[in-house]
Chains A and B, each alone.
Chain A
Amino acid sequence: MDEVQKGMIALLPRLRRFAFALTRDMDQADDLVQETCARALARRDQWQTGTRLDSWMYKIAQNTWLDQRRSPRGRSEVPMTPETAEVTGADGRRITEDRALLAAVGRGLEELSPEQQALVLMVCVEGVSYKEAADIQGVPIGTIMSRLSAARKALHRYLETGAARNEKVR
């Protein structure tokens, strides 16, 4: 294995967390991570030595997920494998315990645009800096902050009132 492969393996737990936050489903999360890794391996010549491997992988994960959201066929095409069942078994208990919180957060996130969801999750869950988020989403840092601010206010409002606002925040 080379350095990139080792780096990708080390990133797997974080990529899976990001993918789970995006999909809220462990099987779909693993399918997303698998597709992300496959794409990354196929285009590894595009990754520049010395730059952040994690940012590059988050970007691929985000774009893969956005692609899947746009194409309804995307998700069902990926086959299930036995390993994923294992993940939601005994080891999945901690996730199950948080199901109520997860459900509420998931509904709140669905009020946001897909791009906003990805942004909020990469910053809040993955600790990606605004600068990296700007690179990942290909917009200026000021735009990132405006999007984040709007999305976080909307999500907070949703979680506080327990009800969706009538329009989606853009």
Chain B
Amino acid sequence: MSTVTDHDLLSWADGQLPPEEQQRIGALVAKDPELRARAEPYLKTRIILEEAFAASAHERVPDRLVQLIVSQAPVASEGPFTFAMHASRLAHVVKGLFTIELMRPAALTAAGLAALAGAILLLRPAPSEADLIQSTAEGQFAVGVLHAALESAHSVPVNAALPARTAASVANPVLTFESKDRTYCREYRARDHESLAFAGVACRLVDGTWAIKHHERIAGAARPGPDGGYGPAGSDDMPSLDAVVGALQASDVLLPEDEARLIANRWPEKPDQTGTRTGNE
């Protein structure tokens, strides 16, 4: 049997090995108290550090930081960028393993992948079945790319919100406003996996879901224009959408920097939503 090195144990504790190797080392550690003792410093320090600093990612981001970035003149850039996998979920899984039953590397890998998949879903449109909206007893809610777009995408101009053709479903917010019942609402354009085009409005509930207030098929969108766009039947031609927005709307459309601030802070609850009134109305 090959010797397990400290670097093996370190990589295993940090979940940095390929899945088979992760599993193999985990199985060895599970069987061998000596290996477990050697792995302990790596596992424990990871858990403690994660625990000590986890909360600071949930603090409110100061406006000056958002402002510093927003106030810069944009530079034309092309192509997507990628994010590293978020550490916390993985570390929490490691913690669970450590305290309950030391070695379940397969579970760690699966959860790590799920977290990664979630992060990718947030950033890039991906194909899915019932992809935009889910109907429940409580009403309709945005799911998949629509949820991701409403939660973290910045508004784009209406004429850029719907790409001509997509292999996968796609969604883009076009504007953000405050509603009369003190929630944030966003109008969106979306294309489902069959490339049908929709327009609608959704409002964010306290639990982080986006409730669909209106969702309609865009008439004429099935006939792409010569330039591949969906033709002139855009926002001008949707009286029911306009009516819903008009009925909900309590504020002007938010400016891009205000919107950016809300996204950066994950749509902070307003005092009124939690029942602690500020009293300056």
Q: Are B11 and A153 in contact (CB under 8 A)?
A: no
On whether A54 and B83 interact (CB within 8 A), knowing A1-B74, A156-B45, the answer reads yes
- B264: contacting residue among A2, A12, A124, CB under 8 A: A12
Q: Are A98 and B52 in contact (CB under 8 A)?
A: yes
Tally of A-B Cβ pairs under 8 angstroms: 190
Write the chain B residue with the least CB distance to A150: B6
- A5: contacting residue among B60, B65, B72, B86, CB under 8 A: B72
Q: Are B48 and A83 in contact (CB under 8 A)?
A: no
Mask, A8-50, CB within 8 Å of B = 1, is: 1111111011001100001001100110011001001000011
Tell me whether B205 is interfacial, beta carbon within 8 Å. Answer: no
Stretch at the interface among A60-68, A69-77, A125-133, A162-170: A125-133
CA distance A132 to B83 in the complex (A): 11
Mask, B1-45, CB within 8 Å of A = 1, is: 000001100110010100000000000000000000000111011
Q: Are A5 and B70 in contact (CB under 8 A)?
A: yes
Q: Are A156 and B41 in contact (CB under 8 A)?
A: yes
Chain A residues with a Cβ closer than 8 Å to the other chain, count = 69
Nearest-neighbour CB distance to chain A for B222, whole angstroms, equals 31
Q: Are B154 and A84 in contact (CB under 8 A)?
A: no
Q: Are B49 and A149 in contact (CB under 8 A)?
A: no
CA distance A52 to B64 in the complex (A): 24
Q: Are B57 and A16 in contact (CB under 8 A)?
A: yes
> Which of B16, B40, B44, B50 is most buried by chain A, counting CB atoms within 10 A of its CB?
B16
Q: Are A5 and B56 in contact (CB under 8 A)?
A: no
On whether A98 and B10 interact (CB within 8 A), knowing A2-B76, A49-B78, the answer reads no
Tell me whether B137 is interfacial, beta carbon within 8 Å. Answer: no
CA distance A26 to B16 in the complex (A): 30
Tell me whether B66 is interfacial, beta carbon within 8 Å. Answer: yes
Nearest-neighbour CB distance to chain B for A4, whole angstroms, equals 6
What residues on B are CB-neighbors of A12 within 8 Å? 61, 65-66, 264
Q: Are A9 and B48 in contact (CB under 8 A)?
A: no
Name B65-83 residues within 8 Å CB distance of A: 65-66, 68-70, 72, 74-83
What residues on B are CB-neighbors of A94 within 8 Å? 55, 58
Q: Are B84 and A148 in contact (CB under 8 A)?
A: no
- A121: contacting residue among B49, B55, B64, B75, CB under 8 A: B49
Chain B residues in the interface with A (C-beta under 8 A): 6-7, 10-11, 14, 16, 40-42, 44-46, 48-66, 68-70, 72, 74-88, 90-91, 152, 154, 256, 260, 263-264, 266
Taking A30-B62, A98-B55 as known contacts, 12 extra A-B pairs with beta carbons closer than 8 A to each other, sorted by chain A number, are A1-B69, A9-B264, A16-B61, A20-B56, A30-B64, A34-B64, A95-B55, A125-B49, A126-B87, A127-B87, A156-B42, A156-B44
The 17 sampled A-B contact pairs (Cβ below 8 Å) are A4-B77, A9-B263, A10-B83, A26-B59, A34-B65, A41-B72, A81-B62, A86-B62, A87-B59, A94-B55, A101-B51, A120-B49, A124-B46, A145-B10, A149-B6, A156-B44, A157-B41
